[in-house]
Amino acid sequence: MTAPALGISTDPGTVPELLAGRRLVVLTGAGLSTDSGIPDYRGPGSRPRNPMTYSEFVSGEPAQRRYWARSHVGWARMRRADPNPGHVALAALGAAGLVERLITQNVDGLHEAAGHRGVIDLHGRIDEVVCLDCRRLSPRDELQARLTASNPGFTEAHSAQVETAPDGDAAVEITDGFRIVPCASCGGTLKPHVVFFGENVPKDRVARCYAAVAALTPDDALLVAGSSLQVMSGLRFVRAAWKAGVPVVIVNRGATRGDDLATVRVDAGCSETLAALAACPL
């Protein structure tokens, strides 16, 4: 199969025109949440980031101290983020039965906060914590309270003008002396319930995403919103849709790794484009 000729548009109205009457599977990325105050990884103007890898995290307490100190400050901000018009628009489309399945690469939980149901959190949820020993899940707010009690004043001392990444990592440079806490059940090592770089997405989660895309026909469409598709965890679903002859529409500021597979890429903001989509009768 040859790739479709790539079209690039800056008109948000292009999206409802292309998607009228089609069932949708939606794949979202960090660019969708920028209007909620959460910066993305690779959008225009984004600074280079070096997220902690899984192997680094499990290497021992120094890496875990660094991660939790920075994340402790970042979570204090991230938990206050609200859904933006893009999240709200997708939730409305889902409630209207026009979105068959929403797959998100984001870990911020803002789709659910906007009222979207049946979301596949491809990379997990930052508002959950897992014990690497007993596998117990617990709320992030519970851990935040324990870390605050063990490190009084740390957030206030380090939060001024510190940038936060999409995974909640804050650019705190000095983390020596930060006290991490163990699992309240078994005393094991706690990790955010998210997929780190170098860690595999659970197979059953990947299978659910593939199944959603496989259920589409050429009369339907895959809509990508706010992802540069630089990592294979999202790009593979775009490739699967393209191979099946399903139209792929990408909304993203800047080029993506999936551009040569797309029917069109709309170079515009997700909030305005998705709001325009939700406002049009489909």
Beta bridge partners of 224: 27, 250
Residue 48 assigned ligand-binding role: yes
Residue 81 assigned ligand-binding role: no
Catalytic-role residue among 87, 111, 116, 123 = 123
Residue 44 assigned ligand-binding role: yes
Residue 245 assigned ligand-binding role: no
Residue 106 assigned ligand-binding role: yes
Q: Can you tell me the distance from the alpha carbon of 48 to that of 41, in angstroms, rounded to the nearest whole number? A: 8
Residue 55 assigned ligand-binding role: no
Residue 105 assigned ligand-binding role: yes
Residue 252 assigned ligand-binding role: yes
Beta bridge partners of 197: 53
Residue 253 assigned ligand-binding role: yes
Residue 186 assigned ligand-binding role: yes
Q: CA quadruple 25, 241, 276, 126: dihedral positive or negative?
A: positive
Residue 11 assigned ligand-binding role: no
Residue 280 assigned ligand-binding role: no
Residue 209 assigned ligand-binding role: no
- The CA distances from residue 192 to 174, 181, 184, in Å, are 21, 13, 15
Residue 177 assigned ligand-binding role: no
SS (H, E, C) the chain: CCCCCCCEECCCCHHHHHHCCCCEEEEECHHHCHHHCCCCCCCCCCCCCCCCEHHHHCCCHHHHHHHHHHHHHHHHHHCCCCCCHHHHHHHHHHHCCCEEEEEECCCCCHHHHCCCCCEEECCEEEEEEEECCCCCEEEHHHHHHHHHHHCCCHHHHHCCCCCECCCCCECCCCCCCCCCCCCCCCCCCEEEEECCECCCCCHHHHHHHHHHHHCCCCCCEEEEECCCCCCHHHHHHHHHHHHCCCCEEEECCCCCCCHHHCCEEECCCHHHHHHHHHHCCC
Whether 123 is catalytic is yes
Residue 108 assigned ligand-binding role: yes
Catalytic residues: 123
- Numbered residues of the known binding site for NAD(+): 29-49, 105-108, 226-228, 252-254, 270
- Numbered residues of the known binding site for Zn(2+): 131, 134, 183, 186
- Numbered residues of the known binding site: 29-49, 105-108, 131, 134, 183, 186, 226-228, 252-254, 270
